[in-house]
Amino acid sequence: MLSRRTFLAAAAAILSLSPGFAEDASIHVMDAYGRTMGGIGASGAAFFTLHNMGATDDRLVAAKADVAQKVELHTHIMDDQGVMKMVEVKEGFPVAAGGMHELKRGADHVMLMGLTTELKDGDSFPLTLVFESGTEVTVEVPIDNARMPAKGEMDHGTGG
Ligand SMILES: [Cu+2]
């Protein structure tokens, strides 16, 4: 009988073998977590830091997940009235060779629209990130609604 701790260690070891951490993947996805704003039909968002370990510039152009009807790349902009709002970023997010790109609250994020699965704290879901180079990286995104915004991050209560 495995102890819970042993089980978690084993689960972590298996996760570390997921494609997102494969040795040959030139894009590393670090510190992924998600937030949800309700049950089925509600929206959610995912945040992480991309690190391009390769020698060529790349760009995150799409994201895919089975847990939502629609997955878009979003950012926040200030409108004419000085109100922050979310907009889709069709051209995606560039990650220069050797560089990083951070997706975080109040800024760039992956938006999950119309959740088809209820996701609560402690749940996780696979998110596939599609890059301009053709590289696809799948990472497991744990839901962490209790996580506080990092210093310098804005939180508008939309979760996105
Ligand atoms: Cu959004």
* pLDDT tens digits, one per residue of 24-58: 579 999 999 999 988 999 999 999 999 999 999 99
Share of the chain above pLDDT 70, in %: 80
What proportions of the chain, in percent to the nearest 5, are helix, strand and coil? 10, 45, 45
Give me the pLDDT at residue 150, please. 79
Could you tell me the distance, in angstroms and rounded to a whole number, from the CA of residue 8 to the centre of ligand 1?
32
**pLDDT tier, 87 (very low <50, low <70, confident <90, very high otherwise):** very high
* Mean pLDDT (whole number) for 52-65: 96
Could you tell me the distance, in angstroms and rounded to a whole number, from the CA of residue 46 to the centre of ligand 1?
9
Could you tell me the distance, in angstroms and rounded to a whole number, from the CA of residue 45 to the centre of ligand 1?
7
**Where would I find the beta strands (DSSP E) of the chain?**
27-36, 44-52, 58-64, 68-78, 84-88, 93-95, 100-103, 109-115, 124-131, 136-142
Task: Give the CA distances from residue 30 to residues 40, 47, 85, in Å, rounded to whole numbers and listed in that order.
Answer: 27, 9, 26
Considering the entire predicted model, what is its pTM?
0.80
**Of 35 and 14, the one with more pLDDT:** 35
Could you tell me the distance, in angstroms and rounded to a whole number, from the CA of residue 92 to the centre of ligand 1?
13
Chain Cα centroid distance, residue 31: 9
Could you tell me the distance, in angstroms and rounded to a whole number, from the CA of residue 159 to the centre of ligand 1?
8
For tokens 């009807």, the residue is 69
Could you tell me the distance, in angstroms and rounded to a whole number, from the CA of residue 54 to the centre of ligand 1?
28
pLDDT digits (tens, 9 = 90+) for 96-107: 999 999 999 999
Task: Identify residues whose C-beta is under 5 A from ligand 1, the ion.
Answer: 74, 86, 111, 160
Could you tell me the distance, in angstroms and rounded to a whole number, from the CA of residue 110 to the centre of ligand 1?
7
pLDDT digits (tens, 9 = 90+) for 100-155: 999 999 999 999 999 999 999 999 999 999 999 999 999 999 999 999 887 777 66
Burial category of 146 from C-beta neighbours within 10 Å (exposed 0-12, middle 13-18, buried 19 and up):
exposed
Q: Check whether 16 has a pLDDT greater than 80.
A: no
Could you tell me the distance, in angstroms and rounded to a whole number, from the CA of residue 32 to the centre of ligand 1?
16
**CA Rg value for the chain:** 16
Token pair belonging to 21:
């951490």
Domains in the chain and their CATH numbers? Answer: 4-142 (2.60.40.1890)
